[in-house]
C-alpha cells in the first residue's frame, strides 16, 4: 500500500543531465525522467501511447522525448507533438505527466492527484546550499519495503549493534538515552540525548574528541522524507542549550521513495559542519558504510516477512517514533479517496 498524495524524491538534480533520461519505478508505476535541452526536469509515464515501448529506451529530442520504436515525440505535458510523416496527431496520443519540482539539489515528484500538488508543501533542506556545511549524496536501491526503512531511521537504538565501527557506541548508553517522541504539524519528531557518553569512532576521526561528549540525535519525519541531526560536544559546553558550533554535527537528508511493495529508492545525503580538508569525504564514506549495513539488515528482514507475512511483531520502548510515523502514514493513506489511488 502506498501514499500517493505526497512529494517524493525522484533523484538528485546533478544526476539528471541535459539530453539524458532515467528509467525508474515509483509506487509501482514506470516513470521516465529526462532533462530537456532548455534544462527542464520532466517526468512522464514510461510507456509510449502507440505500442507501449518504454520511452526511456528512446532519446531526448530538444524539449521532448522520442520513442525508439516509431519515433513519436512527447512533450513535458505528456502530449504527443510529432508523428513522423503524419500531420494529424491522434488526440489520445498522450501519456501521463507527473508534477516535478527541483529544490535544494533534489528532484521531487508527485504521484497522486495533480490538483493537490502544492510545491509549498515540499520540505526544505537549506543545508544543501549553506556554505557552513559540506555534504555528499547517494542513491541506494533497497530490496525492502519503504516503511521498514522509515522504522530503521526513526529508531537509532540499533546503532551500537549494527554500526559499532562508525557511529555506534556503548549499547547501554543508547538504550538509556533520554528520549522524547511527539507529533508535529508536519509529522513526527524524536529527540534522543546521551549526556556524558564516549564518542563513537566517526566522531573521533572527524573532530578529534579526546574525552566524553554530550551527544544528541534529532529525527524529523515529514512524509515522505526524514531529516536527522546528530552530533556531540565536549561535556558541559552547551550542546543541549543549542551551543553546538564548536562541536561535531552531521545533518542527514533521507528521501524514502517506494519502488514496489518490496523495494525502495533511498536518496540520502550527509552534511557536516567540520570543513577541515578531507573530513566531509571521511564522514560520507563512513556514513555510506553504515547505510550499507542497514541495507543488509532490511533485506534480511524483508525476506523473513515475505515468508511469514502474518506473524505478529513485538514492540519495545525505542519503537515509539517508528510506530508513530506508521500511524501518521496510515491516517494519510486512509484519507485518500479510492479514485485517487485507482488512477495513480
Instruction: Average pLDDT across each block of 10 residues of the chain; the chain has 344 residues. List them in order.
Output: 96 95 97 96 97 97 96 97 92 96 98 96 96 96 96 86 75 79 94 92 91 95 95 95 93 98 97 94 93 92 91 85 93 78 46
User: Beta strand pairing status for 188-197 and 225-234?
Assistant: unpaired
CA dihedral sign, ordered 61, 65, 67, 68: positive
Residues in the chain: 344
- Rounded distance, CA 252 to CA 269, Å? 6
The residues near 3 (Cβ < 8 Å, ≥ 6 apart) are: 223, 224, 329, 332, 333, 336
pTM: 0.92
What is the CA angle 27-32-35, rounded to 5?
130
Cβ proximity of 213 and 203 under 8 Å:
yes
- Find where cell 533497497 sits: 142
- Rounded distance, CA 76 to CA 222, Å? 28
Report the candidate in 221, 231, 341 with the shortest Cα–Cα distance to residue 279: 231
pLDDT of residue 61: 94
Furthest C-alpha separation in the chain: 76
Helices (H), 208-278: none
pLDDT of residue 337: 63
Report the candidate in 220, 252, 218 with the shortest Cα–Cα distance to residue 232: 218
pLDDT of residue 281: 95
- Rounded distance, CA 228 to CA 209, Å? 21
Amino acid at each position: 500500500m502506498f501514499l500517493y498524495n505526497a512529494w517524493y524524491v525522484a533523484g538528485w538534480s546533478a544526476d539528471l543531465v541535459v539530453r539524458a533520461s532515467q528509467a525508474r519505478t515509483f509506487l509501482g508505476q514506470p516513470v521516465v525522467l529526462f532533462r530537456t535541452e532548455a534544462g527542464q526536469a520532466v517526468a512522464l509515464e514510461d510507456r509510449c501511447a502507440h505500442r507501449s515501448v518504454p520511452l526511456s529506451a528512446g532519446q531526448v529530442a530538444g524539449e521532448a522525448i522520442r520513442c525508439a520504436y516509431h519515433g513519436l515525440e512527447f512533450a513535458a505535458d505528456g502530449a504527443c507533438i510529432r508523428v513522423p510523416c503524419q500531420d494529424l496527431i491522434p488526440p489520445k496520443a498522450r501519456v501521463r505527466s507527473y508534477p516535478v519540482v527541483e529544490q535544494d539539489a533534489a528532484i521531487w515528484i508527485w504521484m497522486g492527484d495533480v490538483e493537490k500538488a502544492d510545491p509549498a508543501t515540499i520540505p526544505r533542506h537549506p543545508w544543501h546550499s549553506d556554505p557552513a556545511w559540506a555534504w555528499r549524496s547517494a542513491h541506494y536501491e533497497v530490496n525492502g519495503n519503504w516503511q521498514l526503512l522509515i522504522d530503521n531511521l526513526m529508531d537509532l537504538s540499533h546503532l551500537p549493534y549494527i554500526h559499532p565501527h562508525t557511529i555506534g557506541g556503548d549499547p547501554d548508553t543508547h538504550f538509556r538515552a533520554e528520549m522524547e517522541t511527539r507529533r508535529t504539524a508536519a509529522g513526527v519528531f524524536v529527540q534522543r540525548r546521551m549526556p556524558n557518553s564516549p564518542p563513537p569512532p566517526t566522531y573521533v576521526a572527524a573532530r578529534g574528541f579526546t574525552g566524553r561528549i554530550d551527544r544528541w540525535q534529532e529525527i524529523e519525519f515529514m512524509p515522505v522524507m526524514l531529516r536527522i541531526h546528530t552530533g556531540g560536544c565536549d561535556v558541559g559546553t552547551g550542546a543541549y542549550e543549542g551551543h553546538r558550533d564548536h562541536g561535531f554535527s552531521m545533518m542527514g537528508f533521507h528521501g524514502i521513495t517506494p519502488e514496489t511493495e518490496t523495494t525502495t529508492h533511498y536518496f540520502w545525503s550527509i552534511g557536516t559542519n567540520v570543513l577541515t580538508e578531507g573530513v566531509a569525504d571521511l564522514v560520507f564514506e563512513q556514513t555510506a558504510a553504515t547505510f550499507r549495513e542497514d541495507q543488509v539488515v532490511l533485506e534480511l528482514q524483508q525476506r523473513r516477512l515475505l515468508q511469514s507475512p502474518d506473524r505478529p511483531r513485538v514492540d519495545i520502548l525505542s519503537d515509539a517514533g517508528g510506530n508513530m510515523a506508521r500511524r501518521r502514514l496510515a491516517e494519510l493513506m486512509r484519507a485518500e479517496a479510492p479514485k485517487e489511488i485507482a488512477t495513480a
